[in-house]
Structure 1
Amino acid sequence: MSINLQKGQRISLKKEAPNLSRLMCGLGWDVAPKSGGWFGSSPDFDLDAFVICLNENQKLTNKSDIVYFGNLRHSSQAITHLGDNLTGDGKGDDEQIIVDLPQVPTKINKLLFLINIYDSKNRKQELSQVKNAFVRLVDLNNNQEIARYKLSGSQYQNKNGLILGEVYRHDAEWKMAAIGDAFDARGIADIAQKYA
């Protein structure tokens, strides 16, 4: 049974999914309503999911340790982004990231899962305008959802990015924490700079 995570909640992936080796992080959201009726011109919301790999000092040591639409596969082959959805159209996950936990290099201690709105400043978009957004973790060994975290809400007003959660090593096992911290940034490079 899937856990509905609350901000700040931590779970043991070993306890919730004892045989977990391949993990899928799925992100979904609904298309923002167009303004101006049938001929409205407001652009689609393009949420980008990405992973920042941190060492034991919580630092990003190499820009190739960011897995996103411009770098779909980590050099270790342990983390794969399955591609960019530009609109949020369709049901279910709009973007997915696969993590092969046993293949994650030991120098990586934490995987931060984040989203941001592409070109949010020019499009005048913020996370509070996104509807029905969620992130979920799935055990790919049996396709069972482990946990889900709902993101929509007014607390994200004037914010265009969000740290969804983190998967981290603790005493030789993987754990997960729902973070839910929103921020305002100019893009993935600007976000990554905070961990340099």
Structure 2
Amino acid sequence: MTISLKKGQKVDLTKTNPGLTKIFIGLGWDVNKYDGGKEFDLDTSAFMLSPEGKVADEKNFIYFNNPKSAEGAVIHSGDNKTGAGDGDDEQVKIDLAIVPANVHKISFAITIHEAQERNQNFGQVSNAYVRVVNEATGEELIRYDLGEDFSIETAIVVCDLYRNGQEWKFNAIGSGYQNGLAGLCKDFGLDV
């Protein structure tokens, strides 16, 4: 049974699902009709963070140009440049059993590629969601629908997976940024 969350809610992931190690994070969205005339390209990124909230190594920043973490714990499915069709637009697979011990949290973001050049923002995006799926069974465990609370933002941190002792938890974040992927990278300790 799927647990539906609202912004700011947290839920146990592994404690309530004993033995769960392989999951994927599915992210999806639709683009509103508007007269800008340019294609929308939304991208998913994962930041593997230290206890201080920073990316310790560039290899711990997973996105379309670096689709796999060094140890293979986090793997990006590839860049969907249109977001057309039903279901997940992009996915990130996670093997919780092999996430390095120095990674305390994995933050997931959606950004708009070339947002400033194309004059695009999340006010033009609808039906955005994130879900956690048990890779072995295909069962959707957690779903967070982001709602329509965004306007000028060009990046959104949608959720975190984080350690709580030996267990993993899920946090529905839904926090918008105006400085796109570059702003997120800077906040997470990366130089771009």
Query: Could you state the TM-score of these two structures normalised by the residue count of structure 1?
Result: 0.92
**SS class of match (1:133):** strand
Q: Distance in 1 between matches of 2:94 and 2:101?
A: 14
Size of the aligned set, in residue pairs, is 189
Residues 30 and 133 of structure 1 are in contact (CA less than 8 Å); yes or no, is this contact kept in structure 2? yes
Give how far 1:68 is off: 0.1
Residues 28 and 88 of structure 2 are in contact (CA less than 8 Å); yes or no, is this contact kept in structure 1? yes
Give how far 1:34 is off: 4.9
Q: Percent identity?
A: 36
Q: Distance in 2 between matches of 1:15 and 1:9?
A: 16
Give how far 1:44 is off: 2.2
The amino acid across from 1:122 in the alignment is E
Query: Tell me, which stretches of 5 or more residues in structure 1 are unaligned?
Result: 36-40
Q: Distance in 2 between matches of 1:42 and 1:150?
A: 27
Query: Tell me, which stretches of 5 or more residues in structure 2 are unaligned?
Result: none
Q: Tell me the equivalent position of 1:32.
A: 32
The amino acid across from 2:167 in the alignment is E
Pick aligned residue for 1:167 from 158, 161, 168: 161
Q: Distance in 1 between matches of 2:162 and 2:180?
A: 26
1:10/1:186 CA distance change after superposition, 3 Å: closer
**SS class of match (1:156):** coil
Give the root-mean-square deviation of aligned CA atoms. Answer: 1.3
Q: Tell me the equivalent position of 2:150.
A: 156
Moved over 4 A (4+): none
Query: Could you state the TM-score of these two structures normalised by the residue count of structure 2?
Result: 0.93
Pick aligned residue for 1:191 from 174, 184, 191: 184
Residues 51 and 105 of structure 2 are in contact (CA less than 8 Å); yes or no, is this contact kept in structure 1? yes
Map 1:55-70 to 2 at 5 A.
55-70=50-65
Q: Say which is worse superposed, 53-62 or 174-183, in terms of deviation.
A: 53-62
Residues 111 and 180 of structure 2 are in contact (CA less than 8 Å); yes or no, is this contact kept in structure 1? no
Residues 68 and 81 of structure 1 are in contact (CA less than 8 Å); yes or no, is this contact kept in structure 2? yes
Give per-residue Cα distances to partners, 1:62-106, cap 9 Å, x unaligned: 111100001000001111001001111111001000000001011
